[in-house]
Structure 1
Amino acid sequence: MDANDGNQDSSEHRLQSAASFKAFMLKNSTKSNLNLYDHLTQVLIKVMNERPHNVVDVIEDISHDIKRGLLRDIQIAMQDSPQTTTAELLAEQQRALFSRSEEADQEEELGEAALPNVSEIGFYMEQAGVGLGREEIQRIFFALKQLVESQMLPRCRLWGKILGTESSYIVAEAEYREGEEEEQNSDEAAEEEERVPSTQENENEIDPLPQSVYKPPPVVQKEPIGTGANKCVYYVCKEPGLPWVKLPPVTPAQITVARQIRKFFTGRLDTPVVSYPPFPGNEANYLRAQIARISAGTQVSPQGYYQAGEEEGDEDNEAPRDSYEVNPEFEGFPVAEMAESLSTWVHHVQHILQQGRCTWVNLAVKPEEDNEEAEADEKEEEPDEPEPEVGPPLLTPVSQDAEMFNTPSWSSKLSSHLTSQHAVAVLRSNLWPGAYVYACGKKFENIYVGWGLKYAGEGYSPALPPLPQKEYPSGPEITEALDPSVKEEQLREDLEEEKAAQEEMDESDEDEEEDDE
């Protein structure tokens, strides 16, 4: 074999080896579906185009970037067509807040009288170290303006924000409109008619079931709309721009049970409240009860800003004061004094009694329909008159609030000691974490931002269920007796015969004595 044949064989072997190696590099990976040949080609092309400094030190990063870019392109190609996100839907709904109608001038005049400057309130709250952020406050201001214009509310303000596990509630407090009480009463009357059970089935029964002797405690009637715990109406929404929902009036039973349970809000008003004791209503009713409790315990104002109304100013009137009016002669307190002394702050919302009402009602008094029967019963039995429950009067200083769990009810401070001439006085509730109020001159405002739960000390222990009641009362009519034996039955018959014979003899003797006389 000559040298030419050997060179030809070696060249063919190298070509075969190169083709085999190229086929090896073109083999796709089972993980990324990429091959080494295309990857090295792209790496070299990028090096030739960019010519980075110290290419040998950055070759690994270049390889990683190219591989990550290819995988990103594959993932984008596999994704579905883009859909509208939740943020985009919310922004579309909030677009109406920034629109201006043709009758905006007239509505603006109405809104100025009914709605305070929420932006200014947000600024002062920010100085106090609490708030919702400037952007959210501005959106809430437009949402409140939209609420006032749509519902024709005489006055409305931002009550606060209650947090939830799924979504939160923005709460607006407003005064009742004229005629709203009549609409509410008509709706409640219709609901009561639907709840009346039919008694025809029980009358047609031949053998009726035994009736329970249990008598439930008397139901405490709720306070009329516009008074007590139902003095104001509340609207809630999840986000500014979403529809406002009006909360129903609160009942004493709902407030009483809300004091015994602790439940986080979910953000859905129709969610049932599963608790012990059972709560009479859904989350909307529970939210309204908590709002009433928080308002009664944390709504405060500088002393002297409000004064008693003319009707409540009479000394002969024993009824508790339930209304107030702005004092036009109020001059305000120095900010430093309000930050140091709790006596300069007073409650301007009525205290809720243990009955669940702001005004005590005598449950022993029967309705007017049973007056005649009540008078007859009073002559026979005169029960002890219950002692009326009286709470602290309106405009009571917060310094008189009782401590709980060795914790003072309030904490006061100055917003800034560095610029005290521009600072505001801040009051924070320790019993309802999240309740704040600021005061600066003649300006003040209350706000609540929290979970809607009261401070319960180091730990919370739920109430234990009561002992089970006896199913039936013990007595000879119900107690099962043993069957008598034959001898006992015979003895009983003999005794009954002797007793009957003795009675006949006595009757005959009496007749003979009467004849002799």
Structure 2
Amino acid sequence: MADPDPSSARSHRGSQGSSGSISDSGGSSQDPRPSILGDPRASILGDPRPSIFGDPRSSILGDPRSSIFGDPRPSILGDPRPSLPNGPGRASQQEDSRGSLGPGPEGSHGPYLPNDPRLSRRDSRPGATPGFQAFGPELPEPQPRELAVQNAKAYLLQTDGQSDLSLYEHLVNLLNKLLTERPAAPLASLEAVHRAVQKERCQRPPDPLRDQPERLPAYQTAARQRALFVRDTPDGDQEPEEEPGDTPVPNVQETAFFFGQAGVGLGSDETLRIGLALKQLTEQQPVQTCRFWGKVLGLQGYYLVAEVELRDGEEEEGDAEEEEEEPALGLGPEEREEAEGTAAAAEEEAAEADEPPKPSWRPPPAVPREETRTGANKFLYFVCTEPGRPWTRLPPVSPAHIVVARKIKKFLTGRLDAPVVSYPPFPGNEAHYLRAQIARISAGTHISPLGFYQFGEEEGDDEEEGLGGRDTFEENPDFEGLPVVELVDSIANWVHHAQHILPQGRCNWINPQQKVEEEELGEEEEKGDELEETEQEVGPPLLTPLSEDAEIMHMSPWTARLSSQLLPRYAVAVMRSNLWPGAYAYASGKKFENIYIGWGHKYSPGNFCPALPPAPQVEYPSGPEITEASDPTVEDELALKAAQEQALAAAEEEEEEGEEEDEEEEMDD
């Protein structure tokens, strides 16, 4: 029976330990009170004397004399060393736990042996299994303290339906991690170690036969966009920001605010990243003016488009490289000379070989593209597929690109080097097609309030520009803005400030035949006839009101509205293009802006139908004089030979008869 008074039991055991025991004297008996976790005298590291908690006599679950919580009374789990029934060769129950398990000198000990026969319960009956003692009435009932320990351990080993891990196993893993890592402040880091143990258990161990998964795309995107928010300097300090008037960076946040009132935009987060990306562009390129043109969607990605104007003399190198790769519908002067030389050489060879003559048809001359800062190439455009990625400069647009782009309709893929498979064949890749669509959208949807721009007072512009009118304008310093109600009531208060693209593919018409005559003949007298044969194309001039735009199947090409009908005084005027869905413009006071967010497709009343290939050319008329005869058979050849012999014999007979008649006539004479 256990001592009802813990203090008296503690003093009684202390007196026994001080008087010595058989184990202390080096006897062969063992401690009759082993703990359920093993030997209470052995620590986790194997040394029974210095315990990990400082007391050489305390087990991992607590010692009755010094508990883990600091109470000198028995721990909550009871005495870890309950006594076993006395047997032959066993010491008294009150023996001190500091004795040795095996024979040896005083104070010596040996390693812990799990199969030590002295720790096993043997059955003395014949035929009994060695190492186990049959349960019978001769064994006394377990002590209450041992029973409490067993019940506590059974409780800690319980698992619920949500997890197969018990609290006992979790505590073992927690202590193992603490003893392995040994943090400086174990109590303060207990919660962090607890979460780490739970996380390690939830994570599946990596399969050595499989590759480790790559980083998520979100982490890669964040790593790329981090450079937009951090600016490293040699001293580690932030560089002073430039003056608002000295920087070409546009105020994208303000533009997004006004468009947001109309329900148009890309969101505050994306707008901020776009503004930082435009700032990065202005730092990398010699930009004079910069504007966010819009966002063009694609099947596999999208394009953020920036409309910029470089400083004087900065775009010449890039243009020279693009001229070498410029495609055209016809042949240029050099190609024409090459083709003519080849044709002349072929004609000479044909004359020598007595062959049929070659055709004298020549391809139409190529229409040259417009110079930089004029017409459709007035601005340069840079695109990127995501804020933080490098900006790519689009090539200048040529008339061949625009002419073919008007006949096809293709979805963009998000890759500038992707081919454009269409009919008619497009002379370029997706970068050229995107540039052509940007030019078409800008020419049809870039509008401004009436009076914001005005023509200069220079004389002779109309005569120099011909029937196309002027191609330059300037801001009106006296512009005070129009009320938003007037901007919404009549679309005549809005004008186009981008030049119209002619059917030729240029904003300023040029006669290609005239250029060819100048290069080939070099005579000015023969130019007039060619100018009369080719009719000059004329389009609407600059600053033409929107009221003159053509209707779309009895539908207005523009839709005007207020951003708010409840507070029209503080609302902004919003214009939406019905010809190019995704193109918007706003005006408020002296401020206005244009933006495009769409797929780059023009609206068509009917379903889009690709152009049909041309009809095949008519064959040369066939007649009996040029019809090739079929090869005769053997029978036909024999019949022809017999007919020829018969005809020859008939001819010979006729000749003989004629000769006889002649002879008779001579005799009569």
Q: Distance in 2 between matches of 1:326 and 1:401?
A: 23
Residue matched to 2:227: 96
Q: Secondary structure at the match of 1:220?
A: coil
Q: Per-residue displacement from partner, 1:156-176 (whole Å, max 9, x unpaired)?
A: 100000000000000000113
**AA of the residue aligned to 1:361:** I
Say which of 307, 311, 314 aligns to 2:454.
307
Say which of 291, 302, 305 aligns to 1:171.
305
- Consecutive unaligned residues of structure 1, counting only runs of 5 or more, are 1-39, 50-68, 491-517
Q: Distance in 2 between matches of 1:95 and 1:477?
A: 82
Q: Distance in 2 between matches of 1:289 and 1:145?
A: 26
Q: 1:113 deviation in Å?
A: 3.6
Among all aligned residue pairs of Structure 1 and Structure 2, give the percentage whose two residues are the same amino acid. 52
Aligned partners of 1:221 and 1:251 also within 8 Å? yes
**AA of the residue aligned to 1:167:** G
Residue 393, structure 1, aligned to residue 541, structure 2: yes
Residue matched to 2:442: 295
Residue 355, structure 1, aligned to residue 504, structure 2: yes
Aligned partners of 1:166 and 1:267 also within 8 Å? yes
Say which of 588, 596, 605 aligns to 1:457.
605
Q: Distance in 2 between matches of 1:467 and 1:44?
A: 75
Distance 1:336 1:182, change over 3 A: same
Q: Secondary structure at the match of 2:161?
A: helix
Q: Which has the higher contact order (CA 8 A, sep 6+)?
A: 1
Aligned partners of 1:307 and 1:324 also within 8 Å? yes
Residue 345, structure 1, aligned to residue 463, structure 2: no
Aligned partners of 1:162 and 1:452 also within 8 Å? yes
**Counterpart mapping for 1:162-241 below 5 A:** 162-188=296-322, 190-191=324-325, 211=358, 213-241=360-388
Q: Secondary structure at the match of 1:114?
A: coil
Aligned partners of 2:453 and 2:473 also within 8 Å? yes
Q: Per-residue displacement from partner, 1:14-48 (whole Å, max 9, x unpaired)?
A: xxxxxxxxxxxxxxxxxxxxxxxxxx964399999
Q: Distance in 1 between matches of 2:451 and 2:527?
A: 49
Q: Distance in 2 between matches of 1:476 and 1:377?
A: 44
- Consecutive unaligned residues of structure 2, counting only runs of 5 or more, are 1-157, 168-197, 327-331, 632-639, 648-669
Residue matched to 2:133: none
**AA of the residue aligned to 1:150:** Q
Q: 1:93 deviation in Å?
A: 1.2
Q: Distance in 1 between matches of 2:437 and 2:534?
A: 28
Distance 1:177 1:206, change over 3 A: same
Residue matched to 2:242: 108
Residue matched to 2:470: 321
Residue matched to 1:137: 271
Q: Which has the higher helix share?
A: 1
Q: Distance in 1 between matches of 2:423 and 2:408?
A: 7
Distance 1:361 1:478, change over 3 A: farther
TM-align CA RMSD? 3.9
Q: Distance in 2 between matches of 1:223 and 1:355?
A: 12
Moved more, 256-265 or 304-313: 304-313
Distance 1:73 1:422, change over 3 A: same
Q: 1:83 deviation in Å?
A: 2.6
Q: 1:127 deviation in Å?
A: 0.5
Q: How many residues align structurally? A: 428
Residue matched to 2:421: 274
Q: 1:105 deviation in Å?
A: 5.3
Residue 469, structure 1, aligned to residue 469, structure 2: no
Q: Secondary structure at the match of 2:412?
A: coil
Q: Distance in 1 between matches of 2:549 and 2:543?
A: 12
Q: Per-residue displacement from partner, 1:332-390 (whole Å, max 9, x unpaired)?
A: 00111112210111000000011011011123314323234674697xx7784333111
**AA of the residue aligned to 1:122:** A
Residue matched to 1:370: 520
Q: Per-residue displacement from partner, 1:81-111 (whole Å, max 9, x unpaired)?
A: 4532212112111111112354975773488
Distance 1:372 1:173, change over 3 A: closer
Q: 1:201 deviation in Å?
A: 10
Q: Distance in 2 between matches of 1:213 and 1:440?
A: 62
- The structure with the larger Rg is 2
Residue 402, structure 1, aligned to residue 553, structure 2: no
**AA of the residue aligned to 1:415:** S
**AA of the residue aligned to 1:448:** Y
Aligned partners of 2:461 and 2:470 also within 8 Å? no
Q: Distance in 1 between matches of 2:479 and 2:627?
A: 78
Q: Secondary structure at the match of 2:534?
A: coil
Aligned partners of 1:429 and 1:436 also within 8 Å? yes
Q: Secondary structure at the match of 1:108?
A: coil
Aligned partners of 2:514 and 2:527 also within 8 Å? no
Q: Secondary structure at the match of 1:242?
A: coil
Aligned partners of 1:111 and 1:145 also within 8 Å? no
Q: Distance in 2 between matches of 1:374 and 1:384?
A: 14
Q: Distance in 2 between matches of 1:306 and 1:223?
A: 23
**AA of the residue aligned to 1:92:** A
**AA of the residue aligned to 2:477:** P
Q: 1:123 deviation in Å?
A: 0.7
Q: 1:74 deviation in Å?
A: 8.2
Distance 1:89 1:480, change over 3 A: same
Aligned partners of 1:107 and 1:149 also within 8 Å? no
Q: Distance in 2 between matches of 1:178 and 1:201?
A: 42
Distance 1:109 1:476, change over 3 A: farther
**AA of the residue aligned to 1:293:** R
Aligned partners of 2:253 and 2:271 also within 8 Å? yes
